[in-house]
Amino acid sequence: MNFGSKKQKEKVGKETKKIRKILKISNIKIDEIENVNLSENKKIVNEKNKVDYKVYDLKIQDIIRNFENKIRKIFSNCLNIETFNNIPITKDKKNFKLSDLAQVVIKSSNLIYFYPYMISDIQKIIHNLKLKDNSWNPTTSDDSQYILLQIPPLTNEVKLKKKKEAKDLLEKIKTDIRNIRYKIRDDIIKNMEGEEWKVVEKNKLDNYIKTKIKNIESIYENSIKNY
């Protein structure tokens, strides 16, 4: 039986290969398109299922920074000149700062001199120093020209009071950070799709908050360690 010449057979064979090649390429392209679509869809889902921590992280950083500064002030044994300069004093029914009535000179960590601009203000300054801290006992110099203030060492009672103040501050800051945690959880519930994504993100959030809490606890522990 004659199925055609050799040339015809070769031609048919080439055409068949060509068709197969086209079909193969088409299938590859279809697969590529499907893969791209899957990737894009996955990318869109991933973009949707993200919570932006940047804004919250900045807030928490500010909270921790302020906590650190306040703790430092609570346990600082060095008296700042501004502490004295800003002591309020009433004179002739007018409000002044101590710096308006005298020059403050810190001689050492526990010895301060006050040089009044008017000698007549000495007793008024002494009175207001005692009001500022009832443990202070300012006295006039031998020539009655200036005031000396010897800062007494901290008593155990004062130390315990400062530790309690620091502990109360620590608990307040913990509450502030946990309140931010609740806001982030609300974002997760509101913006994320799929329960599995929400569980993953909530676990991530819990670890994030635990780390921040450990940071402030470390600041607190280091502050009271040798106090």
Count other C-beta atoms under 10 Å from residue 31's C-beta. 10
Angstrom distance (rounded) from CA 51 to CA 201: 8
Residue 149 burial class via C-beta count within 10 angstroms: exposed 0-12, middle 13-18, buried 19 and up = buried
Which of 74-88, 130-144, 190-204 shows the highest mean pLDDT? 130-144
- Predicted confidence (pLDDT) per residue in 92-115, tens digit: 989 999 999 999 999 887 899 999
Angstrom distance (rounded) from CA 147 to CA 141: 6
Tell the CATH topology of 51-75+155-226: Topoisomerase I; Chain A, domain 4 (1.10.132)
Q: How many degrees, rounded to 5, is the angle at CA 116 between CA 111 and CA 121?
A: 115
Residue ranges of the domains in the chain?
51-75+155-226, 81-150
Compute the radius of gyration of the chain from its Cα atoms: 38
Beta-bridge partners for 150: 111
pTM attached to this predicted model: 0.56
The CATH number of the domain covering residues in 81-150? 3.30.1360.40
- Predicted confidence (pLDDT) per residue in 12-46, tens digit: 455 656 555 554 555 544 455 445 444 444 444 44
